[in-house]
Amino acid sequence: MDWESYECPPTIYYVPNFITLEEESEILQAVDKTPKPRWTQLSNRRLINYGGIPHSKGMIAEDIPSWLNQYVACINQLQLYENGIQANHVLINEYLPCQGIMPHLDGPLFYPTIATISCGSHTILEYYDQVESNTSDSSSLLVRQHKTKILLEPRSLLVVKNDMYHKYLHSIAELESDVIDDDVANLPLLTNVNIGDVLPRTKRISLTIRHVPKTSKMKIKIV
């Protein structure tokens, strides 16, 4: 794959129509059938960990379901990681309209390359830099500065690496709809999206596929 043609900005890569409509439908149906106890309910969304629960002491590996493992295999075929490293974890997030996530870093539990497949609705991912600002009493304060934003269309793939993983916080605003403006960094790669468009959000399912370096030798099979 010619990654340079999908770069927007450096070390962020956006691939539209990475999966088909049929594959998107299969993913959404499989997620809908997930038993309620498998979900973790947070205040602003719910999620599922597949492959294990990442932990600083090491992730106890679990089998990834076959319907999901085909997409992990697909990402592994792209050779996003160095030295033959393979993805071993998938985080599924469900976002309803007006749900989002606060600015954060994914941190050192994961290899610094992530791949996200979006299904259902679009969303906008915002990136922020943290810079030191001097205060009146000569102390320093960390201030967030907006860096860029990426529109994630249904069926798209987003790959984030290196500085954009390590240095810049990312977030999703809690909105019912998004207004497209010229700050959207991947605008040239979008299909049928123009500046000024208002895009209402519906339910979005995201598959964030990544590698957890520290895992336990013990492996659990989830039926």
Q: What is the CA radius of gyration of the chain?
A: 18
Under the banding of pLDDT at 50, 70 and 90, the label for residue 4 is: confident
Q: What are phi and psi of 2, to 5 degrees?
A: -85, 85
Q: How many beta carbons lie within 10 A of that of residue 173, not counting itself?
A: 16
Report the C-alpha gap between 121 and 204 in whole angstroms: 5
**Cα dist from 49 to 30, 38, 99, 160, whole Å:** 14, 8, 19, 20
Under the banding of pLDDT at 50, 70 and 90, the label for residue 134 is: low
- pLDDT, tens digit, 9 for 90 and up, residues 39-57: 999 988 999 999 999 988 8
pLDDT for residue 217: 65
Helix axes 21-32, 66-77, angle to 10 degrees: 140
Report the C-alpha gap between 134 and 201 in whole angstroms: 39
Q: Domains of the chain: which residue ranges?
A: 12-215
Under the banding of pLDDT at 50, 70 and 90, the label for residue 131 is: confident
Report the C-alpha gap between 13 and 157 in whole angstroms: 8
The residues pairing with 129 across neighbouring beta strands, listed in sequence order, are 145
Q: Domain 12-215 falls in which CATH fold?
A: Jelly Rolls (2.60.120)
Name the one residue in this structure whose structure tokens are 């995201």.
206
- pLDDT, tens digit, 9 for 90 and up, residues 143-194: 889 999 999 999 999 999 999 999 999 999 999 999 999 999 999 999 899 9
The residues pairing with 26 across neighbouring beta strands, listed in sequence order, are none
Name the one residue in this structure whose structure tokens are 């943290």.
130
Name the one residue in this structure whose structure tokens are 């810079």.
131
**Cα dist from 163 to 9, 62, 176, whole Å:** 11, 30, 30
Amino acid at 172: I
**Which has the minimum average pLDDT: 52-61, 86-95, 110-119?**
52-61
